[in-house]
Structure 1
Amino acid sequence: MSSDPWGRVDETGTVYVRTADGEKVVGSWQAGSPDEALAYFERKYEGLVVEIGLLERRVKTTDLSAKDAQTAVDHLREQVDAHHAVGDLQALRDRLDKLVGTVEARREERKVQKAKQSDEARQAKENLVAEAEELARSEQWRSAGERLRALVDTWKGLPRLDRKSDDELWHRFSHARSAFSKRRKAHFASLDAQREEARKTKERLVSEAESLSGSTDWGGTAARYRELMGEWKAAGRAQREHEDDLWNRFRGAQDVFFAARGAVFAERDAEQTENLKLKEELAAEAERLLPVTDLKSARAAFRSLNERWEAIGHVPRDARPKVEGRMHAVERALQDSEEAEWRRTNPEARARAEGLTGQLQAAVDKLGKQIETARAAGNNARADKLQKELDGRQALLDQALKGLQEFGG
């Protein structure tokens, strides 16, 4: 018979393992010595120790599911409870019990984590739905469409919720995309109709532009071309395949006309340049009439200069505002002199000015007496109030007196 602290082999070859509940039969050994029997079943024990150690590491360091971990624990527990190994079986049971606690803790952690992930996924999908519903009202067709496609990809990468919640959110998400697609389709259908109408309008404008290209009515035709350009812009864009060709024909017709007009105007430019020199000399002569000392002779001289001015003809367009402005400045100065003379000699205006001045002077005198009376009576509050009114009337009187001086009185 052979034995060790955890087991023994009797004379019949039966192998026992010692437990807290007494000895348990491990098996029978007939092939060799008792020591070999114990060594065999001790190796089986060591094998269980290794398997339990491996399972402990898997539970701690991998994403082994709680279900699979529990199955593995149950399998090892069956082997331990079968008593087919020699060693401290209770220690193995204790390790398995502890491992069950670890698995349960991991199960709870994953349950909490899963709930958190579910909440995050729900919030993420609700945010996607809200953004999609906002985009559904957008008219930024390209950018909104691209963003909606990106939202779909984001949605696919999120975990599924419970079926009811996931279906409800997906229904809103899908409805928003459908609404946007429907609006975009209607927009582009309308746009196609508008572009076809624009094409017809521009065909008509091109025909008229081409018919005007040989005109020699420079002013009228140029004005009509400007009107046609306004109509062209107002018509909107035609389809891309027609727009460029129509524009080239439209612009080409104008180029023919304006090139011909430019050639004619070039001949006129030489004449108008000479006209400009003559008008600049007249403007300088007119400016020498200022300042006005003799209104009658200055007016007569200006009329003579103006007649000569009108007889000269056109000057270059870009020079016209400046040279004409010089003549207008002299004319305004003469008009100002006339108005000043009229005001100075107008008896009705003088009478009105004198009447207003007299009224204001009387009011000022009256207020002065009232202030003296109030002060004498010790009523300073009334005196101060009357003084403010007097100051205002005095200012008006000063202005009226200044105006009266313009009449020489």
Structure 2
Amino acid sequence: MSSDPWGRVDETGTVYVRTADGEQVVGSWAAGSPEEALAYFERKYEGLVVEIGLLEKRVQTTDLSAKDAQTAIGHIREQVDAHHAVGDLAALRTRLDKLVEKVESRREERKAQRAKQSDEARKAKEDLVAEAEQLAASDQWRVAGERLRALVDTWKGLPRLDRKSDDELWHRFSHARSAFSKRRKAHFAQLDSQREDARRVKERLVAEAEALSGSTDWGATAARYRELMADWKAAGRAQREHEDDLWNRFRGAQDVFFAARSSVFAERDAEQGENLKLKESLAEEAEQILPVRDLKAARAAFRSVNERWEAIGHVPRDARGKVEGRMHAVERAIQEAEEAEWRRTNPEARARAAGLTGQLQAAVDKLRGQAEQARAQGNTSRADKLERELEGRQALLDQALKGLEEFGG
């Protein structure tokens, strides 16, 4: 007979394991010595120790589900309870019991985490719905439309809620988008109608302007052309594809009339020559305004020059384009300075730039935290992937910060 602290082999070859409830039969051994029999069943015990150790590590370091963990624990427990190994079986049961507690604790943690994620997703979707419903009343058609499309992309990236809640929120979200689309469609339909009305009005004005172009009643016809010009401005813009053509015809008709009148008034050439000299002097004075450093002062200075310009009268037709072009160049430069100032101080664009910067900063911080956590957990592949994504977001953030600086901070 052979024995050790946890088991023995009797003279019949029966192997026993010692437990708190007394000896339990492990099995029988016919071939080999009793020592070999004990060694065989001790190795089985060591195998269970290794198996439990591996399972403990999986539970601790991987995302093994509670269900799979419980199944694995049950499988090992069956082997322990079957007493087919020689060793401290009670210690194995204690380790399995602690492992069950750990799995249950992990299950509750994950349940709480899922509940938290669900609450966060609900809050995020409620915020998206609230913003969409606010945007539905906006008249900033391009900006609001772009923002609504961005909200849809954000929505798609959020987890689903329970079906009832998700459907209710999506219905409100979709309704807000539809309401905005209907209002935008109605707005542009009305705008198209207005432009079509403007086209018809301008076609009538063009027809009259062309009919008057051969008139020799200089005073009355010139006065009528001024009235037609006022009517033209009051009519509003036609569709883009018609506006330039109609304007060219309208101005062309006037040019024909005024060119004929100018030929009759040839005696005024000397006076117009003097006018040209005066306007060239004013154009030179206007050019001194550039470059624009003080926008208010530049506008005032140009207004002063322009008032004197308007008071001078006609210049020879062949010189008009050049001298007026010089004035127009100064006017355009001031307008561009005004537009640049408006863009720089536009609170809406500034707010969008600041909002985008904030979103990108939050995304960068989140990715950095996830990457650090993955690295700390030894998940190198996930950490590398997150860090590559972090580099891309950081580049976008740097670009957004640079854009925000253009608004003065």
TM-score over 0.5 for the alignment? yes
Correspondence for 1:373: none
| Paired amino acid for 1:231 | D
Q: Against the structure 1 CA distance between its residues 259 and 100, is the aligned structure 2 distance closer, same or farther, given a 3 Å change threshold? A: farther
CA offsets per residue over residues 151-174 of structure 1, 9 Å max, x none? 111112112222222222122111
Q: Against the structure 1 CA distance between its residues 189 and 8, is the aligned structure 2 distance closer, same or farther, given a 3 Å change threshold? A: same
Correspondence for 2:300: none
| Distance in 1 (alpha carbons) for counterparts of 2:7 and 2:114 | 47
| Paired amino acid for 2:144 | A
Q: Against the structure 1 CA distance between its residues 210 and 26, is the aligned structure 2 distance closer, same or farther, given a 3 Å change threshold? A: farther
CA offsets per residue over residues 300-328 of structure 1, 9 Å max, x none? xxxxxxxxxxxxxxxx98459xxxxxxxx
Correspondence for 1:390: none
DSSP-derived class of the 1:18 partner: strand
| Distance in 2 (alpha carbons) for counterparts of 1:12 and 1:93 | 29
Correspondence for 2:26: 26
Quote how far apart the aligned CAs of 1:129 are.
Answer: 0.7
DSSP-derived class of the 2:15 partner: strand
| Distance in 2 (alpha carbons) for counterparts of 1:23 and 1:257 | 126
Correspondence for 1:6: 6
Correspondence for 1:254: 254
CA offsets per residue over residues 198-244 of structure 1, 9 Å max, x none? 22222222222222233344443333333323333332333333233
| Paired amino acid for 1:201 | V
| Distance in 2 (alpha carbons) for counterparts of 1:166 and 1:19 | 56
| Distance in 2 (alpha carbons) for counterparts of 1:31 and 1:228 | 122
| Distance in 2 (alpha carbons) for counterparts of 1:319 and 1:185 | 48
CA offsets per residue over residues 339-378 of structure 1, 9 Å max, x none? xxxxxxxxxxxxxxxxxxxxxxxxxxxxxxxxxxxxxxxx
Residues 218-367 of structure 1 aligned to structure 2 (within 5 Å): 218-264=218-264, 267-270=267-270, 318=311
Correspondence for 1:164: 164
Q: Against the structure 1 CA distance between its residues 317 and 120, is the aligned structure 2 distance closer, same or farther, given a 3 Å change threshold? A: closer
Which of the pair has more CA radius of gyration? Answer: 1
| Distance in 1 (alpha carbons) for counterparts of 2:310 and 2:86 | 120
CA offsets per residue over residues 27-85 of structure 1, 9 Å max, x none? 23334333333333222222222222222222222222223222222222222222222
1:75 has 2:78 as partner: no
| Distance in 2 (alpha carbons) for counterparts of 1:134 and 1:84 | 71
Q: Against the structure 1 CA distance between its residues 14 and 274, is the aligned structure 2 distance closer, same or farther, given a 3 Å change threshold? A: closer
User: What are structure 1's unaligned runs of at least 5 residues?
Assistant: 276-315, 321-409
| Distance in 2 (alpha carbons) for counterparts of 1:317 and 1:127 | 57
Correspondence for 1:127: 127
Q: Against the structure 1 CA distance between its residues 137 and 38, is the aligned structure 2 distance closer, same or farther, given a 3 Å change threshold? A: same
| Distance in 2 (alpha carbons) for counterparts of 1:209 and 1:250 | 6
Q: Against the structure 1 CA distance between its residues 22 and 248, is the aligned structure 2 distance closer, same or farther, given a 3 Å change threshold? A: farther
Which stretch shifts more, 217-226 or 161-170?
217-226
CA offsets per residue over residues 256-303 of structure 1, 9 Å max, x none? 33444455556414158899xxxxxxxxxxxxxxxxxxxxxxxxxxxx
Which stretch shifts more, 262-271 or 17-26?
262-271
Q: Against the structure 1 CA distance between its residues 137 and 272, is the aligned structure 2 distance closer, same or farther, given a 3 Å change threshold? A: closer
Q: Give the structure-2-normalised TM-score.
A: 0.62
- CA-based RMSD of the aligned residues comes to 2.7
Quote how far apart the aligned CAs of 1:124 are.
Answer: 0.8
User: What is the percentage of aligned positions where both structures have the same residue?
Assistant: 86
DSSP-derived class of the 1:220 partner: helix
Correspondence for 1:101: 101
Q: Against the structure 1 CA distance between its residues 38 and 139, is the aligned structure 2 distance closer, same or farther, given a 3 Å change threshold? A: same
Q: Against the structure 1 CA distance between its residues 233 and 272, is the aligned structure 2 distance closer, same or farther, given a 3 Å change threshold? A: closer
| Distance in 2 (alpha carbons) for counterparts of 1:230 and 1:206 | 13
DSSP-derived class of the 1:204 partner: helix
Residues 177-192 of structure 1 aligned to structure 2 (within 5 Å): 177-192=177-192
Correspondence for 2:61: 61
| Paired amino acid for 2:233 | K
Q: Give the structure-1-normalised TM-score.
A: 0.62
Q: Against the structure 1 CA distance between its residues 191 and 18, is the aligned structure 2 distance closer, same or farther, given a 3 Å change threshold? A: same
Q: Against the structure 1 CA distance between its residues 32 and 191, is the aligned structure 2 distance closer, same or farther, given a 3 Å change threshold? A: farther
Correspondence for 2:380: none
How many residues were matched structurally?
280
User: What are structure 2's unaligned runs of at least 5 residues?
Assistant: 276-308, 314-409
DSSP-derived class of the 2:196 partner: helix
| Distance in 2 (alpha carbons) for counterparts of 1:243 and 1:193 | 15
| Paired amino acid for 2:131 | E
| Distance in 1 (alpha carbons) for counterparts of 2:192 and 2:26 | 90
Q: Against the structure 1 CA distance between its residues 216 and 124, is the aligned structure 2 distance closer, same or farther, given a 3 Å change threshold? A: same
Q: Against the structure 1 CA distance between its residues 268 and 112, is the aligned structure 2 distance closer, same or farther, given a 3 Å change threshold? A: same
| Paired amino acid for 2:194 | Q
Correspondence for 1:211: 211
Quote how far apart the aligned CAs of 1:125 are.
Answer: 0.9
Quote how far apart the aligned CAs of 1:103 are.
Answer: 1.7
| Paired amino acid for 1:162 | D
CA offsets per residue over residues 80-101 of structure 1, 9 Å max, x none? 2222222222111111111122
| Paired amino acid for 1:206 | V
